[in-house]
Amino acid sequence: MKKIIIHTVPVAVSFIWLAIFNHTFDPISLNGSQFLKFYLIFVFGFYASVFALKVCGESISKITFYFMISIFLLGVLKLIKGILLGKPVGFLIMILILEIIVILFVNLTHINHRIK
């Protein structure tokens, strides 16, 4: 339960930011720069909570992994929308590549920790 609360805080902060500054709860409807601001707050906050749990010695649960995949899929969805509309998506591609690297790193260290 503690892990879910720790992961919920950055999600809530990013959606509160979205509601206050953009007056919406739909991140897909945002334009490119506003979506990137929201997505960076969302990604960095969530992964900071993941690494904080790892530093404290907590294990990474499947729910955390599913959260990571859903955050990645949100970025992929916006990437597809941007490509279809002919918008520049370079920064989003870089963020998604870094996100894949972090997901693999977290997942591999979780597997190595489980083997030991």
Lowest mean pLDDT among 24-38, 48-62, 76-90: 48-62
pTM of this structure: 0.86
C-alpha 19/C-alpha 14 separation (Å) is: 9
Per-residue CA distances from 72 to 84, 106, 115 (Å)? 18, 14, 27
Identify the band that residue 93 occupies on the pLDDT scale cut at 50, 70 and 90.
Answer: very high
* pLDDT at residue 116, as a whole number: 55
SS3 content of the chain, % helix, strand, coil (to 5): 85, 0, 15
Residue pLDDT, tens place only, 6-38 = 888 888 999 999 999 999 999 989 898 999 999
C-alpha 41/C-alpha 43 separation (Å) is: 6
C-alpha 65/C-alpha 106 separation (Å) is: 9
DSSP 8-state code for residue 44: H
State the Rg of the chain over Cα: 15
